[in-house]
Amino acid sequence: MKIGGLQRVSLIDYPGFICAVVFLQGCNFRCSYCHNPELVEPRLFQPCIKEKHVFEFLSTRKGKLDAVTITGGEPTIQKKLCDFIKQIKKMGYAIKLDTNGSQSHVIKTLLAEELLDFISMDIKAPLERYKEIVKVPVDSESIMESIRLILKSKITYEFRTTIVQSQLDEDDILRIGKLIAGAGHYVLQKFVPIKALEKEFLKEKNYPDDKLQRIKKSLENEIRSVTIR
């Protein structure tokens, strides 16, 4: 496993749970606004943390932490992800996975083996615009399959989209809403211009709040709960 970082405690990554966060190194997408360039761009990679170190740390936190959030980068491109999660689950922790949903076969296995308690999938764009936003060719059928698997699953989930004004217009966001019609929860995530894969994105502006509120209201025709954060 290529582990790029370990955050020992977080109160915000897994709603209602105190968790540790494991950051996996490497991603198959290249979203310009990515706020974790050091986990995406190989020239910025730091030496990996050993799995053994993560397990040792978690063994000392039983009863103090409830869960582990696994994020990246993109966790599902790591070959040993299933085994890694199995070992953490055996220690009694709940697991939250953050994913871009590109590897539906991995999500299928993780759900079938009941290895996840919460899954959060980023939806980057309406399908026709995916490649333009993530800067690499995309298997849109795999994205759709991930959405279907998550909608059918019995676990807690959320879909979320980072809203960058220059990347997605209102119509794009409403078309994303159609992709996940019937979902329980969708998060419109404001872009925070602190770090970005492409430096010029640090000058990006967010939509005004009243416009985001209007979009949220329209989305609520298709989705039970929409949050702006």
Would you tell me which residues interact with ligand SF4 (CB under 6 A)?
27, 29-31, 34, 36, 40, 72-74, 100
Q: How far is the CB of 67 from ligand SF4 (least distance, A)?
A: 20
β-strands 225-228, 94-99: how paired?
A: unpaired
Tell me whether residue 228 is exposed, middle or buried, using C-beta atoms within 10 angstroms of its C-beta: 0 to 12, 13 to 18, 19 or more: middle
Q: How far is the CB of 160 from ligand SF4 (least distance, A)?
A: 11
Q: How far is the CB of 32 from ligand SF4 (least distance, A)?
A: 9
Q: How far is the CB of 87 from ligand SF4 (least distance, A)?
A: 23
CA atoms of 83 and 88, how far apart (whole Å): 9
Q: Which is nearer to ligand SF4, 73 or 177 (CB)?
A: 73
Comparing CA positions, the residue from 111, 133, 118, 128 lying closest to residue 178 is: 128
Q: How far is the CB of 31 from ligand SF4 (least distance, A)?
A: 3
CA atoms of 154 and 114, how far apart (whole Å): 10
Q: How far is the CB of 71 from ligand SF4 (least distance, A)?
A: 8
Q: Which is nearer to ligand SF4, 39 or 110 (CB)?
A: 39
Tell me whether residue 112 is exposed, middle or buried, using C-beta atoms within 10 angstroms of its C-beta: 0 to 12, 13 to 18, 19 or more: exposed
Q: Which is nearer to ligand SF4, 35 or 108 (CB)?
A: 35
CA atoms of 85 and 107, how far apart (whole Å): 12
Comparing CA positions, the residue from 82, 79, 71, 75 lying closest to residue 28 is: 75
Q: Which is nearer to ligand SF4, 36 or 69 (CB)?
A: 36
CA atoms of 81 and 132, how far apart (whole Å): 28
Q: Which is nearer to ligand SF4, 102 or 219 (CB)?
A: 102
CA atoms of 104 and 53, how far apart (whole Å): 29
Q: Which is nearer to ligand SF4, 76 or 94 (CB)?
A: 76
CA atoms of 163 and 26, how far apart (whole Å): 23
